[in-house]
Amino acid sequence: MKPVSISVFAILLATTLAAQTPLTAIDWLGQPVPVPIAEPLAPQLNEPPVTNGVVIPQVDVLPLGAASPDAVGLLPTSTTGLPKDLWYPSRTDDLTRLLADHSNEPIPAVQALYYTLLMAEADAPSDAPADGKFLKVRTKILMDFGAVEPALALIERAGPSTEHLFDQWLDLALLNGSEDAPCQNLRADPSLSQSYAARIYCTARAGDWQTAALTYETAAALGALTPIEVTLLAQFLDPETISDTPATVPSPSLTPLLFRLFEAIGSPLPTRGLPRAYAIADLRKTTGWKSEIEAAERLTHTGALPATRLLGLYTERTPAASGGVWDRVASIQALDDALSESSGEAVSETLSDAFEAFRSQGLEVAFAQLFSQRLQDADLSTNAQHQLFEIALLSPDYEAAMTTLTAKTPRQKFLADIARGTPTADAAHSGLEQAIATAFSSTKASPKHQALLDQGKLGQAILAAANQLDRAGSSDTGAISGALATFRAVGLEDTARRAALQLLILKETR
């Protein structure tokens, strides 16, 4: 397997936000901290039978000693603190339904929790088929978030040279430009994929243009290629057939292979309007600086790219124009320069514009990760100090920040109490604040989630709570309170605190 790259490290770092004691900013290379998770209840030995008959299920058999691909993960239990049987008591279909119910833009605390669950090393569900269905769903969700490299690492760790996993392996590799290995495997064993387009593409990439052309003619004659594949492959195999009129982009049915074929014939597609997974293509230094920045913003928004990588792009060079992305670049560079010069006055003057630049892209938490500590060390004006208070609460060191920053308003005091895990109903001034206080006064999970915990279905209960919070509107206080209470009941205290802070702060800033 190839070394895990910086984008994978971004996800691994993000997942530590879900390891709870409560968490500070845990360095992936540092000492992992286990998560205190509630133990599943032991089964009752004297339970009455639940059926009068016996149903014999269809069983998928793995070779003796073979591990299920659904058990593959990038984060060991020593890092996540989650038990090995996280998924085992649950049915695969129940888990896949919950995973499919995620929103594409959860709040960052829930996003980090999703990453932990998606990449956790744990036993496969008890009814998992041998085709890696649960693994494929997990990698599909990672792709939805734009986390292509962790998804690719999961597939590669599972052993992707099988007919069940190969197509997803090739898709992921095409997105990040590492298709050599899957193409070599496909050439050696064409039965790995039923896609004639993939076979033709990989054969041509290996330099065997004659075989690729012959396969193309046969597949086209048999109707084994879609119309867009016929057009793009013809132009790929024979550039002289490229016309001035580009092929129509099949938005609903765009695949990574079609995306790369457009690129290969000299008509690369802009990724801005495409699913987030395609944004990684703009980070391969094949596009301009503006496209790189916009792609990095999209990926940082979902935690698929480290905030430091985005800052590196923002400060890479001097913007040559103004408006849009260039105004964001200029404001961020101004704040970064002021902080580097230790000019409290300049920092105070540039903070608001720089924060607004990040906020406009939904990157408030990334801003806090990058600048919170540096801002706390600066000599700020009164207005800048007021803004810093909430920025610090969005940072990894939110609890520690409350030992040095002073809460001066009722809102700030309530937020500081959340950071310490002690918000009270008496201090709540809105329905949302009341719901948060109720959750933190409870020691029990939501009844709906407790029913799953009583069956030992810890992973399913956490997923259900995450989805519930993910989908809840700010006025759905019952759902918010129940989800936060469940997080706390199973030991995800840090997730509960971060989520509560983000619900209040991001609701106000967006």
Give the residue carrying structure tokens 């016929």.
230
- Tens digit of each residue's pLDDT, the chain (510 residues): 444 454 554 555 455 444 454 333 223 223 333 333 333 334 343 434 433 333 333 334 444 344 689 999 999 999 999 999 999 999 999 999 999 999 888 999 999 999 999 999 999 999 999 999 999 999 999 999 999 999 999 999 999 999 999 999 999 999 999 999 999 999 999 999 999 999 999 999 999 999 999 999 999 999 999 999 999 999 999 988 777 666 777 667 899 999 999 999 999 999 998 999 999 999 988 889 999 999 999 999 999 999 999 999 999 999 988 999 999 999 999 999 999 999 999 999 999 999 999 999 999 999 999 999 999 999 999 999 999 999 999 999 999 999 999 999 999 999 999 999 999 999 999 999 999 999 999 999 999 999 999 999 999 999 999 999 999 988 899 999 999 999 999 999 999 999 999 999 997 655
The CATH number, out of the four listed (1.20.58, 1.10.10, 1.25.40, 3.30.43), of the domain defined by the range 6-40+71-264? 1.25.40
End-to-end CA distance of the chain: 41
Identify whether the C-beta of residue 37 lies closer than 8 Å to the C-beta of residue 491.
yes
DSSP assignments along 194-246, one per residue = --HHHHHHHHHHTT-HHHHHHHHHHHHHTT-S-HHHHHHHHHHH-GGG--SSP
DSSP assignments along 403-442, one per residue = TTS---SHHHHHHHHHHHT---GGG--SHHHHHHHHHHH-
226 vs 253: CA distance, rounded Å: 10
Domain ranges of the chain: 6-40+71-264, 407-509
- pLDDT at position 369 is 98
Work out the angle at residue 304's Cα, subtended by the Cα atoms of residues 302 and 308, and round it to the nearest 5 degrees.
100
Global confidence as pTM? 0.87
- pLDDT at position 44 is 40
Identify whether the C-beta of residue 47 lies closer than 8 Å to the C-beta of residue 85.
no
